[in-house]
Structure 1
């Protein structure tokens, strides 16, 4: 598992760094859909920051969904077998 991490992690870091360097231009981040030209509240942030924060939020939402599903599966396994003989079903 550690070897796999060391094989995958460096290329991902290089790609993220290249993305950050290539997308340094500032963009206006605004949640005002009615006036996109001059929004009431807007932040000037680099484009790569918007991209990376969006990806991070997606990872967190996906992780929370996977955690909730695993929790339901574990609860179902606990309820179906008081001796814990169905616990290997958690690996599915």
Structure 2
């Protein structure tokens, strides 16, 4: 596919929207999201989570996953990524050649 520029351009043109209005709506939505993210002030914690007196179970799990069980957390992330890629592969339509 990458050795023939004609095929590459044809496959890219399939990804572009056939209706120019959909591209405009997408760009407007993206602009609204960017403006809202820029205009939002995100609060900063005064103390780290480890300094909070009595953390809840969810906070304890989060602290353990980010400190003691980092390898298990990363392996689980890779397994979930592989399952997501597999689901996308199974759900895609077959292209007639």
State the TM-score, normalizing by the size of structure 1: 0.31
Structure with more contact order per residue of length (Cα contacts < 8 Å, sep ≥ 6): 1
More strand by share: 1
Max Rg structure: 2
State the TM-score, normalizing by the size of structure 2: 0.30
